[in-house]
Amino acid sequence: MLGRAGWKLNALREKANTTICLLDARMRTLTAEPEEGAATAEYAVVLVAATAFAAVLVGIVKSDAVKTLLTNIVKKALSVG
């Protein structure tokens, strides 16, 4: 039969086991996906690059030479005969 000291020791052991299990779970969670923030930063860089590329394309399409070229292509495609 356990005395008072034995019960306290058993309670401390249970509390230590619970704390260790929680700490282990936390450490596994933190190390599971260490590059999660890096992926978000990479997506941001890709979005900025895509936006810049789109701006360049809009600038090219709005130029007079390209407008004339596209207009001639459409006229030629729509002409009958």
**Segment 20-48, tens digit of pLDDT:** 888 888 888 877 766 666 677 888 899 99
Distance from C-alpha of 18 to C-alpha of 24, rounded to nearest angstrom: 10
Domain locations in the chain as residue ranges: 1-32, 36-81
Q: How confident is the model at residue 52, as a pLDDT?
A: 94
Phi, psi of 35, deg, nearest 5? -105, 25
Mean pLDDT score of the chain: 83
pLDDT value of position 2: 61
pLDDT score recorded for residue 81: 59
pTM of the model: 0.42
Distance from the first to the final alpha carbon of the chain = 108
